[in-house]
Amino acid sequence: MSKSVLISGAGIAGSTLGYWLCKFGYRVTIIERSPVPRLTGQTVDIRDEGRDVISRMGILDSIENLMTNESGLRFVDDDDTIRAEHPRAGGKKSFVTDIEILRADLCNILLNVNKEKIEYIYGDTITSYVEGDDNVDVGFKSGARRQFDLVFIAEGMRSRTRELVFGYVPVHHIGLYTAYFAIPYEEQDGNWVRWHNCVGGKSVLLRPDRQKTSRAYLYIRSNERGLDLKDRPEVIRFIQNTFQHDGWEVPRIIEGLRHAEDLYFEDLGQIKMKSWSRGRIAILGDAAYCATPISGMGTTLAIVGAYLLARSLLENPVHAQAFASYEKKMRPYVNKAQAYNPWTIRLEQPDTKPGINFFYTLKKIDQYPLINLVKSLFNSNKYDPDLLGDESLTTCQLAMTTKQRGGVSHDQ
Ligand SMILES: Cc1cc2nc3c(=O)[nH]c(=O)nc-3n(C[C@H](O)[C@H](O)[C@H](O)COP(=O)(O)OP(=O)(O)OC[C@H]3O[C@@H](n4cnc5c(N)ncnc54)[C@H](O)[C@@H]3O)c2cc1C
């Protein structure tokens, strides 16, 4: 029998890991708390190494077909005057990058890529586990019990199974709330992302998508924690009150919020863990190393982490060695993605009108290629170009390892 694995969480990290482990000959079960696939969410970025992984999965074309195709980012005044303009560009620092896709579309592609070979269980969660010498005995909320060779936690930032396995893990809040939801598209939304700051440490972004809706992103700088835990009517009231005196497209957006069915409100925070494995259980994606959406790297980290974890298991038959190898490769990548200066939050969400003007001026200066060239010369924050390793994870190695494991490679 080939080895069996349980992945908890059918989001971006979980479904990517499922694909690769299935390809490498494992029997894969994915359990998801939600009773149905969670095909919602606004625009997410896939950058550099993430793009390479999806290309290796053979789904780059499907993803490119569904891209939102925004032209770039504009910073605009109350009367929509453009104060700075940054066209779409590749790389990790650009706001609108090579691949921008709605999370819902990406999740749908990933869940379908190996659907018939993976066992999906919806509406259930892990409630207990006992690790033995050869497997993990897992108890589920539904009352079922099953054994797996390995277990993976890919449950997003607020993962509960993480606490069960690793104990309490604090969320490092960055002092910023975001609300995302869709509103009807209007002609002036064009195909650029528009970023507008409001006094009092707030900003509003409008992102058009190919479905002819516009995605509204509201940012609120605040030192108060727990607002995201309030119920939906209270959250809506809080947002309406916060933006009630603001101009530009804000009244239209706040009106749209009243009808939005997809409101997602979160208190942005990072997850930092000392170790990403315990015995036969490993953790990945936002659950392990959430970098917050302001990094623009959350989805890329989830995809790259899933690939490196699966590849480490292919290259190291002993799971403890595989987990150590995954962590060794992935940790520097995560550290760079999570690095940010706390003052950038203040700079990007100023309190006053002069502060907003100063920010727009910096963004204007930033749009000149020469400035970016000079900045890149001083930027020591370089990523490992060999992070993913050779693409031809040779058929020979795959076949050999799969044979040792007693499974059947799905490539064969
Ligand atoms: C509904 C939704 C909407 C999102 N919208 C945006 C967005 O608009 N912009 C943005 O930048 N990021 C968004 N994100 C976050 C983004 O998907 C992640 O930051 C990133 O892609 C990393 O993916 P992940 O797989 O680690 O986590 P996620 O994509 O968050 O996936 C985690 C999955 O685990 C499931 N889960 C949680 N707890 C359990 C449990 N106990 N047992 C089983 N399953 C569990 C969740 O239901 C979810 O399906 C959203 C996430 C979700 C779940």
What is the sign of the dihedral through the CA atoms of 183, 184, 186 and 190?
positive
Q: Is 7 in the pocket of ligand 1 (CB under 6 A)?
A: no
At 401 the pLDDT is: 61
The token duo for 105 is 């579309």
At 366 the pLDDT is: 82
Percentage of the chain surpassing pLDDT 90? 73
- What is the pLDDT of the chain when averaged over all its residues? 90
Residue 241, burial from CB neighbour count under 10 angstroms (0-12, 13-18, 19+): exposed
The token duo for 89 is 């560009």
Beta strands 43-46; 119-122: pairing state: unpaired
Among protein residues, the one with the nearest Cα to ligand 1's atom 31 is 11
Percentage of the chain surpassing pLDDT 70? 91
Provide the pLDDT confidence category of residue 408 given band limits of 50, 70 and 90.
very low
**Up-side HSE of residue 266: CA atoms within 13 Å toward CB?**
19
Ligand 1 atom closest to the CA of 286, numbered from 1: 26
Helix 103-112 to helix 12-23 angle, to the nearest 10 degrees? 20
Residue to mutate, 124, 155, 163, ligand 1, most ligand atoms under 8 Å from C-beta: 155
User: Is 80 exceeded by the pLDDT of residue 396?
Assistant: no
Tell me if 269 sits within 8 A of 311, measured CB to CB.
no
Residue to mutate, 286, 295, 303, 309, ligand 1, most ligand atoms under 8 Å from C-beta: 286
Which range of 101-105, 197-201, 296-300 scores highest in mean pLDDT? It is: 197-201
Pick the more confident residue, 11 or 296.
11
Q: Is 156 in the pocket of ligand 1 (CB under 6 A)?
A: yes
Residue 316, burial from CB neighbour count under 10 angstroms (0-12, 13-18, 19+): middle
Ligand 1 atom closest to the CA of 14, numbered from 1: 25
DSSP type of residue 405: H
Cα 269 to averaged position of ligand 1 atoms, centre (Å): 14
User: Is 50 exceeded by the pLDDT of residue 194?
Assistant: yes
Q: Is 127 in the pocket of ligand 1 (CB under 6 A)?
A: no
pLDDT tens digits for range 201-218: 999 999 988 778 899 999
SS3 94: coil
The token duo for 386 is 């060999």
Q: Is 306 in the pocket of ligand 1 (CB under 6 A)?
A: no
Q: Is 300 in the pocket of ligand 1 (CB under 6 A)?
A: no
Q: Kindly list the structural domains of the chain, giving each domain's residue range(s) and its CATH number in brackets, ordered by start.
A: 4-68+100-171+272-341+382-405 (3.50.50.60)
Window from 11-25, 80-94, 120-134, 194-208 with minimum mean pLDDT: 80-94
Contacts of 297 (CB under 8 A, 6+ apart): 45, 47, 92, 291, 337
Tell me if 299 sits within 8 A of 291, measured CB to CB.
no
Ligand 1 atom closest to the CA of 288, numbered from 1: 26
pLDDT tens digits for range 113-171: 988 899 999 999 999 999 999 999 999 999 999 999 999 999 999 999 999 999 999 99
Cα separation, 169 vs 163, whole angstroms:
7
Q: Is 45 in the pocket of ligand 1 (CB under 6 A)?
A: no
What's the whole-number mean pLDDT along residues 252-277? 94
Cα 8 to averaged position of ligand 1 atoms, centre (Å): 12
